[in-house]
């Protein structure tokens, strides 16, 4: 009953169970990109993670035994992109807990032990229905739950060297899905505050985002194509980023948070753009 009451209270009045020191230190030690945060950032992340755990419902599947450390590892990585953001309304967050509004369209998180096979159906331009199987490590559903595979989450510390992070990928998809119409697909363009990066208007910010992302996406697709066709060195990030703009946004965001230094070298035009979105106070005016 207490937990039910807590969920109905405004977030600033809720009192989630504190994250024990030992558990927090265990998770931070397992993921170097979390350990590189400042003490102030870690304190903020720990607060967000505690409220995240209080709000979300974890559902282990296929015999997985989900521990507190596993749930906290997911929460901390999911909340990492929120640390310095604006609220979804575009306003600066007066309370850091407002940032969890980015994830307020769902409650459930399904955790599978390993990759799962999903049955898909598509209809081509001629109206022919095609069925196929897709192997998934994770999936974010518009206005629905997030699915993650623990095998991939557990490897996030090692995967950071290649700029990969499953949790960040799926939760950035959630940001990209915010405010899209039901049934539409995300397009790699999350909601921006008015006057983004000093552009002076909402339309100007959206235009800057689209143009910068499109050029980077086109360049990446060309690099992938050159690698596949002529055997030149493949790009640093997973070729899956060339699938469409939404996947390009999610894959590049993984790298931005876990290997910022290398990300800046590989995508110099995206670094100020992502700083403007994920760290608006520090980046204001960087591309104006």
Map out the domains of the chain as residue ranges. Answer: 187-288
CATH architecture, domain 187-288: 3-Layer(aba) Sandwich (3.40)
Phi, psi of 147 (to 5 degrees): -110, 135
Residue keyed to tokens 């504190």: 18
Neighbours of 108 (CB within 10 A): 13
pLDDT value of position 269: 98
DSSP character for 155? T
pLDDT value of position 117: 66
The candidate with the shortest Cα–Cα distance to 49, out of 28, 74, 76, is 76
The candidate with the shortest Cα–Cα distance to 267, out of 255, 281, 283, is 255
**Residue 285: both structure tokens together:** 């005016």
63-75 average pLDDT score: 98
**Residue 238: both structure tokens together:** 């997973």
pLDDT value of position 2: 42
pLDDT value of position 285: 40
The candidate with the shortest Cα–Cα distance to 275, out of 201, 183, 209, is 209
pLDDT-based confidence at 97, cuts 50/70/90?
very high
pLDDT-based confidence at 135, cuts 50/70/90?
low
139-165 pLDDT per residue, tens:
999 999 999 999 999 999 999 999 999
pLDDT surpasses 70 at 4: no
Q: In this structure, are residues 27 and 69 in contact, taking their beta carbons and an 8 Å threshold?
A: yes
What gap in Å lies between CA 95 and CA 257, rounded to an integer?
A: 22
Phi, psi of 205 (to 5 degrees): -65, -40
């Amino acid at each position: 009953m207490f937990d039910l009451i807590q969920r109905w209270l405004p977030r600033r009045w809720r009192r989630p169970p504190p994250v024990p020191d030992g558990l927090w230190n265990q998770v931070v030690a397992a993921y170097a990109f979390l350990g590189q945060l400042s003490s102030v950032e870690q304190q903020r992340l720990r607060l967000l993670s505690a409220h995240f755990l209080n709000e979300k419902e974890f559902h282990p599947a296929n015999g997985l035994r989900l521990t507190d450390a596993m749930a906290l590892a997911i929460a901390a990585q999911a909340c990492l992109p929120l640390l310095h953001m604006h609220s979804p309304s575009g306003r600066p967050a007066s309370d850091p807990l407002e940032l969890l509004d980015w994830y307020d369209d769902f409650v459930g998180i399904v955790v599978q032990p390993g990759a799962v096979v999903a049955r898909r159906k598509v209809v081509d331009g001629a109206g022919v229905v095609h069925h196929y199987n897709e192997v998934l490590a994770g999936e974010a559903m518009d206005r629905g739950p997030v699915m993650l595979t623990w095998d991939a989450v557990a490897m996030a510390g090692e995967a950071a060297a290649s700029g990969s992070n499953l949790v960040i990928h799926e939760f950035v998809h959630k940001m990209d899905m915010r405010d899209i119409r039901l049934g539409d697909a995300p397009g790699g363009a999350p909601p921006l505050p008015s006057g983004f990066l000093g552009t002076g208007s909402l339309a100007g910010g959206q235009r800057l985002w689209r143009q910068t992302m499109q050029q980077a996406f086109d360049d990446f697709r060309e690099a992938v194509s050159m690698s596949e066709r002529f055997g030149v060195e493949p790009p640093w990030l997973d070729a899956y980023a060339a699938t469409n703009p939404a996947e390009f946004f999610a894959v590049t965001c993984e790298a931005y948070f876990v290997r910022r230094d290398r990300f800046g070298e590989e995508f110099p035009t995206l670094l100020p753009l992502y700083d403007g979105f994920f760290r608006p106070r520090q980046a204001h005016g960087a591309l104006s």
